[in-house]
Structures are given as C-alpha cells and as structure tokens.
C-alpha cells in the first residue's frame, strides 16, 4: 500500500473549486435518489450517513497517515454520548448539539492520538484497542451518566434552525445529516490537499524520509487525530440526534472492526473510497444480516480476505484508474 | 486467608491458560512478525472439535485433546499455504490486521454454521472433576491439571528452543531471516513448522482452558484482545515474557473480579495502556527495527 502516487500535483485548474462542486453535487444527487426512491428507509439511510462520518474519520488516520487502529469507535461514541447527555440535560438545539459532539470528539481524538501515534506496529495496535475498550468500559460503568447497558434514551432534540421539526419518517433527520455531510466532505476535500494533508501522506509513505527532511512526525499525527476525532464526533452527534438513543454498540470493538472493513472495501486513502465502502457495506448488511448473522460474518470475512489478496487498494482503485485514463485520452486528443 | 488462597489458585490457573494459548501467538509474532488476530479463532476450533469428540464420539478426554490439536492443525494448513505465507515478515501491519480479522470472521461464521451457535461444554473425566486434597487444603483438580499443563508447556518449549537443532535454526531465523536463508536453513519450512506448533498450542490451550474461558460462538472475538495484550505486555517471542505477562494479567484480572467487580475491565485496560506506553516492546521483548 505504500506505493500510492499522489496524482494531484498542482496542475492548471480550469474552474476554481471545481472538485469541491463536483463532490457536493454528487452527494446531493445520491441523497436525492435515496430520498425519493426509498422514502420508507430514510431512518436506515440516516444511520448510514452517521457511519459514513466515522469511516471518513478513520480514512484520515488510516488512509492518509497509515495508522492501524482497532479502536476508532471511541471517538464516535464519545461524540454520541456527549451530544446525548447534553440533550438530556437541556441543550436541545441540534446545531449546538453538533458543536458539543465536535468538541468532545476532538478532545477524545487528541487524547487517543497522543497515545496511539507514539509507536508503530504491535504496540500501536494494542494501544488503540485498549483505548477503545477503556472508553467502552467507562460507558458501561458510568451508568448514572450514560445509561450503562440499557443505553442513553430520551434524547429529544428541538427544531433545526427553529423551523424544521424531527418527524417520525426521519425526513428532517435525513436532510439535516445530508447537509452536514456535504459541508464536511467539501471541507475535507480541501483539507487533504492542503500542505498539512499532503505532509501526512508523505509521513505515511515513508516516515523515515519525512523525518530526514525535518518534519516532526508525532505532533502532526496528533493534530490529524484531533481532526479525525472532530469528524467522528459529528457522526456520533448526528446519530444520537436522529435515532434518539445511544447504546453501547456505538463504542464497541465490533463497530471499530466494521468501519475498518468498510474503509478497506471502498479504498483507504480516498475520501470517495470511504463513502463508497460505507454505502456498499451498509446496504449489504441491511439485506444479508437480517437473514442470518453468522452467514453475514462468513461473508464479511471472505470479502475481507479477497480484498486484501486481490484488491488491496479497494474497489475505488479501478474506477480511479479508468477515470485518469479517460482524462489522459481527452488531453491527448 | 481462604480468599487469598482461592484468588491465587484461580489467578495462576487463569494465567496458565492465557500462557498456553498466547505463547503460540507470541512465537509467531517473534518469528514471522505476523499480528495474527485469528489465533483465538484456531483455539476456538480446537474447543469445538474436542467438545464434538467427547460428546458425540464418546472418546476419552486425553484422546479428545489429541484429536482437537491434530484436527486444528490440519484445518489451519490451507490457511497457512494460501494466506499466511503472503504476509510473513514483509507487509505493513494494516494488511496483516485486515487479513487476520477476515480469517477470524470467516472461521466464526463457518464454525457456528457447522456446530450450531450455542455454548459448547467439554465434559471433564472423573479423575479431573473432583476436588484434590493436597494435605492442608482441598483444591479443584482441574485447576491443578491446568497449572501442570502450563508448566510442562513452558519447560518443553524452553527445551525445544534452547537445546535442539530446530531451536537453533528457529533462533537464527528470528535474528536474521535473510542470513539464515543464505546459510542453507530452509526458512519456509521453519515458518511452516512454527505455524503448526503455534496453532497446535492454541488449540491445546483452548481445550484445556475451556472451564475458565468457555467455548462459545464469539470466543475468537471476545478473547482476541486478551491474547494480543499478553503478547504485547510480555514481548513478542519471549517465553519468560509471555509467562510472566500471563500470570501478571491473570492475577490483576482475577483480583479485580473478586475485589472490585464494578471496574474490572477499566483497571485492566488502564494498566495495559500504562505498561505498553512505558514498555512498547514488552517487559521482556527486544526491539525489531
């Protein structure tokens, strides 16, 4: 995976903010398809968007920085619990709740980043798992605050911007989540092409060389973890707002492993890969897991093995190479 | 006094089970540098096979252990040839994590499809099920048996690695696999034998420790973290490290469960974070640059 070539060298840009506009419009178009074709499944689609934030967040640390982590649900869960607790204690404005989620996620991201990115290899993996499990244990034991194994319920957020009420068909929740996703996605597209984002990519490709040209690696990775925590916190807060409950599953080990599968399925190191992986995985899970959870586990395992063996860069890679070939042909003509 | 004594017995027995299962993982990580998250899954296969052998084929406990170990090794051979060989020593940890998690999920799904999703008991024979009088106190015979198994495993491994020709080759491959290869040691055979040994130890531990870590559908996921932590705290590839880490963690966990059941997990993971952060290569490990 280390031979990823950065293709977007600053070439002449024809339309300013072209990529961002394409990204935003594509997500809106996909959202519109979901909204009009599957009006009965909006609750599921809203949940999907919430998870998409977590996968994007994982992409920032795993795809762009090469950190192997199995405890990423901690950031998501902390954001969700923070928003849920704030809502139960009286802050009902959805936008304010999002801010609470972002804040909590960032703090959690910085803490876990400081612990996890210090080492590489086995210690890193074990630390990431231990941090995730520590948060899960806390969420379970502090039941006066989090509801423990019963989950935190009774989250009833107010109207969005004081106008749109959350309805039982999740229309408002879906549109609200989609809007936040578009904004965050556009910001992230800018962020990963910023000098900071490119340097993180350099660290991932060859950390020794990065150190040789005078980059201090550790602080950068911690900051990146903070950003990832913020993104995951948004996802957690959105999920808490739209479903009205926060359970222990939002911090569980299984959640961390699942999002890693989604990311790799789509393609780590691409924001589109993260989104594509989430959509494909969640829709398959929605259909298959309902039938038999053990068949689902067998399938996921098989899928993961096949991806690692045959397509280690994820399903997005053939699409991207096709696109670049198409582009080159267009330039040659 | 009575409490302390029963805590100690349980802690040592639990630690020994952890040791028997984790030492295979530790050797694999020391030699092949594979973060094998599927190790618990192979221990689970061993447990299921032993349960099937005793309850449906009505064989004796010792025969069942043998069948479980050999059966698990046979099951693991295709995984070694097709998958594990690709990730020995070279890949980045992410690829290893993904592949071995995939294998874990796959095994959980298949095993539960074949044997059914329920808790599997491994009935003990008469000689192991009762209490044993050791002069001044009665102890459960099974605990003594587990502790004896752990001690024998540790001694046998020490002999194998320090005193035999295979051990010399193995240590040479650990230290510098390329040079060992150049000197005529068939490292791929060493890898394959070590893999079989590691899986066999895992299956053995899974069967013997079934009273303490019950065999259930999500065994592989539930204890994956624990085994990994033992290896990480002890240091990859070190018998002494794995033994002391197992006993330490067994003691911490058991004491926590007896004295403060509310916060057992919390203190367990907190101590793991502190230890790994202070000793990233484990208490007895060496750094593999």
Residue A158 has φ and ψ, to the nearest 5°, of -80, -160
Residues B83, A309: C-beta atoms closer than 8 Å: yes
Between CA A320 and CA A328 the distance in angstroms is 12
End-to-end CA distance of chain B: 47
| CB-CB neighbors (< 8 A) of B281 in chain A | 123
Residues B98, A304: C-beta atoms closer than 8 Å: yes
- Taking CA–CA distances from A61, the nearest residue in chain B reads B94
Residues A257, B272: C-beta atoms closer than 8 Å: no
Q: What is the pLDDT of residues A63-122, one digit of tens each?
A: 888 888 888 999 999 999 999 898 888 887 888 889 999 999 999 999 999 998 888 878
| CB-CB neighbors (< 8 A) of A73 in chain B | none
pLDDT surpasses 60 at A237: yes
Between CA A30 and CA A20 the distance in angstroms is 15
| CB-CB neighbors (< 8 A) of A2 in chain B | 92
| CB-CB neighbors (< 8 A) of A138 in chain B | 266
- Select the more confidently predicted residue: B259 or B218: B218
Q: What is the pLDDT of residues B161-217, one digit of tens each?
A: 888 998 888 888 888 888 888 888 888 888 889 999 999 999 999 998 888 888 888
* Partner residues linked to A246 by β-bridges: A152
The structure tokens listed for A114 are 């400081």
| CB-CB neighbors (< 8 A) of A118 in chain B | 277, 280
Residue B136 has φ and ψ, to the nearest 5°, of -110, -5
Q: What is the pLDDT of residues A265-308, one digit of tens each?
A: 888 888 888 999 999 888 888 887 777 777 888 888 888 888 88
pLDDT at A1: 47
> Does B99 contact chain A (CB < 8 Å)?
yes
**Of the candidates A36, A120, A56, A210, the residue with the CA atom closest to the CA atom of residue B287:** A120
Shortest distance, CA B195 to any CA of chain A (angstroms): 19
pTM of the model: 0.86
> Does A2 contact chain B (CB < 8 Å)?
yes
Q: What is the pLDDT of residues A131-178, one digit of tens each?
A: 998 898 888 888 777 777 777 877 777 777 766 777 766 788 888 889
The structure tokens listed for A107 are 């703090």
Among B residues 18-77, those touching chain A with beta carbons less than 8 Å apart:
29, 35
Of B92, B113, B266, the CB nearest to A141: B266
DSSP symbols for chain B: -HHHHHHHHHHHHHHHHHHHHHHHHHHHHHHH----TTHHHHHHHHHHHHHHHHHTS---HHHHHHHHHHHHHHHHHHHIIIIIHHHSSSS-HHHHHHHHHHHHHHHHHHHHHHH-SS-B--PPPHHHHSEEE-SSSEEEHHHHHHHHHHHHHHHHHHHHHHHSHHHHHHHHHHH-HHHHHHTT--HHHHHHHHHHHHHHHHHHHHHHGGGTS-B-TTHHHHTHHHHHHHHHHH-TT-HHHHHHHHHHHHHHHHHHHHH-GGGHHHHHHHHHHHHHHH-TT-SS-----
pLDDT surpasses 90 at A227: yes
Among A residues 279-298, those touching chain B with beta carbons less than 8 Å apart:
294-298
- Taking CA–CA distances from B234, the nearest residue in chain A reads A123
Residues A130, B97: C-beta atoms closer than 8 Å: no
The answer to whether A278 touches A59, Cβ cutoff 8 Å, is no
| CB-CB neighbors (< 8 A) of A127 in chain B | 273, 276-277
pLDDT at A232: 94
Shortest distance, CA B224 to any CA of chain A (angstroms): 10
pLDDT surpasses 50 at B63: yes
- Own/partner pairs for A212-218, CB < 8 Å, 24+ apart? A218/A117, A218/A118
Residues A308, B102: C-beta atoms closer than 8 Å: yes
> Does B109 contact chain A (CB < 8 Å)?
yes
Shortest distance, CA B50 to any CA of chain A (angstroms): 22
pLDDT surpasses 70 at A52: yes
> Does A143 contact chain B (CB < 8 Å)?
no
- Percent of residues, chain B, with pLDDT higher than 70: 94
Shortest distance, CA B141 to any CA of chain A (angstroms): 34
> Does A28 contact chain B (CB < 8 Å)?
no
Tokens 């015979």 — which residue?
Answer: B141
- Percent of residues, chain B, with pLDDT higher than 90: 19
Of A68, A138, A303, the CB nearest to B97: A68
The structure tokens listed for A249 are 């599953």
Residues A302, B102: C-beta atoms closer than 8 Å: yes
Shortest distance, CA B144 to any CA of chain A (angstroms): 31
* Partner residues linked to B138 by β-bridges: B133
- Percent of residues, chain A, with pLDDT higher than 70: 93
- Taking CA–CA distances from A308, the nearest residue in chain B reads B99
pLDDT surpasses 50 at B80: yes
Of B113, B266, B273, the CB nearest to A127: B273
Among A residues 68-97, those touching chain B with beta carbons less than 8 Å apart:
68, 70
Domains of chain B: 2-117+141-278 (1.10.3470)
The answer to whether A299 touches A249, Cβ cutoff 8 Å, is no
> Does B192 contact chain A (CB < 8 Å)?
no
Domain positions in chain A are 18-252
**Range in A5-9, A39-43, B255-259 the model is least confident about:** A5-9
**Range in A118-127, A190-199, B250-259 the model is least confident about:** B250-259
Of B99, B225, B269, the CB nearest to A305: B99
Mean pLDDT of B16-39: 88
pLDDT at B289: 37
Shortest distance, CA B253 to any CA of chain A (angstroms): 14
Residues A301, B104: C-beta atoms closer than 8 Å: yes
Q: What is the mean pLDDT of chain A?
A: 84
- Taking CA–CA distances from A62, the nearest residue in chain B reads B94
* Partner residues linked to B139 by β-bridges: B132
Residues 6+ apart with CB under 8 A from A133: A71, A253, B225, B265, B269
pLDDT surpasses 60 at A10: no
Between CA B88 and CA B174 the distance in angstroms is 12
Residues B102, A303: C-beta atoms closer than 8 Å: yes
Q: What is the mean pLDDT of chain B?
A: 84
Mean pLDDT of A12-38: 79
Residues B225, A129: C-beta atoms closer than 8 Å: yes
Residues B280, A123: C-beta atoms closer than 8 Å: yes
């Amino acid at each position: 995976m280390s031979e990823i070539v950065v293709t977007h060298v600053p070439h002449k840009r024809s339309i300013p903010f072209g990529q961002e506009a394409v990204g935003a419009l594509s997500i809106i178009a996909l959202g519109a398809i979901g909204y009009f074709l599957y009006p009965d499944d909006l609750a599921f689609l809203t949940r999907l968007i919430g998870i998409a934030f977590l996968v994007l967040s994982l992409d920032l640390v795993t795809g762009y920085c090469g950190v192997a982590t199995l405890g990423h649900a901690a950031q998501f869960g902390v954001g969700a619990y923070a928003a849920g607790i704030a809502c139960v204690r009286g802050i009902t404005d959805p936008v304010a709740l999002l801010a609470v989620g972002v804040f909590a996620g960032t703090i959690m991201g910085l803490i876990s980043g400081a612990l996890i990115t210090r080492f590489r290899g086995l210690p890193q993996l074990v630390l990431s798992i231990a941090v995730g499990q520590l948060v899960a244990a806390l969420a379970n034991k502090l039941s006066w605050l989090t509801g423990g194994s019963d989950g935190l319920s009774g989250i009833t957020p107010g109207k969005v911007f004081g106008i749109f009420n959350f309805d039982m068909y999740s229309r408002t929740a879906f549109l609200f989540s989609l809007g936040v996703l578009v904004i965050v996605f556009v910001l992230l597209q800018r962020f990963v092409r910023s000098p900071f984002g490119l340097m993180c990519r350099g660290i991932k490709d060859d950390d020794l060389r990065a150190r040789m040209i005078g980059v201090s690696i550790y602080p950068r990775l911690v900051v990146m973890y903070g950003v990832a925590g913020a993104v995951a916190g948004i996802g957690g807060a959105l999920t808490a707002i739209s479903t009205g409950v926060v359970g222990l599953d939002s911090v569980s080990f299984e959640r961390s492993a699942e999002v890693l599968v989604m990311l790799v399925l789509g393609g780590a190191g691409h924001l589109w890969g993260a989104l594509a992986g989430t959509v494909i995985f969640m829709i398959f899970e929605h259909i298959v897991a309902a039938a038999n959870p053990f068949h689902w586990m067998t399938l996921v395992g098989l899928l993961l093995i096949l991806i690692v063996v045959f397509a280690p860069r994820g399903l997005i890679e053939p699409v991207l190479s096709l696109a670049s070939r198409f582009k080159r042909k267009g330039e040659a003509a | 006094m009575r409490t302390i004594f029963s805590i100690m017995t349980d802690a040592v027995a639990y630690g020994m089970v952890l040791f028997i299962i984790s030492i295979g993982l530790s050797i694999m990580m020391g030699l092949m540098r594979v973060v094998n998250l599927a190790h618990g899954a192979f221990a689970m296969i061993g447990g299921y096979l032993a349960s099937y052998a005793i309850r449906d084929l009505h064989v004796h406990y010792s025969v069942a252990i043998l069948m479980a170990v050999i059966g698990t090794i046979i099951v693991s051979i295709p995984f070694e040839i097709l998958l594990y060989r690709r990730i020995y020593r070279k890949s980045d940890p992410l690829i290893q994590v993904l592949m071995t998690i995939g294998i874990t999920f796959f095994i959980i799904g298949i095993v539960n499809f074949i044997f059914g999703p329920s808790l599997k008991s491994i009935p003990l024979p008469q000689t192991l099920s009762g209490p044993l009088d050791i002069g001044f106190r009665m102890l459960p015979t099974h605990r003594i048996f587990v502790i004896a198994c752990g001690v024998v495993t540790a001694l046998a491994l020490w002999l194998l690695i320090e005193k035999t020709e295979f051990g010399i080759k193995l240590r040479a491959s650990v230290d510098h696999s390329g040079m060992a290869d150049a000197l005529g040691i068939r490292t791929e055979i060493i890898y394959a034998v070590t893999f079989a040994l590691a899986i066999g130890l895992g299956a053995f531990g899974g069967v013997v420790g079934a009273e303490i870590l019950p065999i259930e559908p999500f065994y592989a996921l539930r204890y994956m973290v624990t085994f990994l932590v033992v290896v990480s705290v002890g240091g990859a590839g070190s018998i002494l490290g794995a033994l002391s880490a197992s006993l330490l963690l067994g003691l911490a966990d058991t004491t926590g469960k007896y004295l403060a059941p509310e916060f057992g997990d919390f203190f367990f993971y907190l101590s793991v974070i502190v230890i790994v952060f202070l000793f990233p290569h484990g208490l007895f490990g060496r750094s593999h640059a």
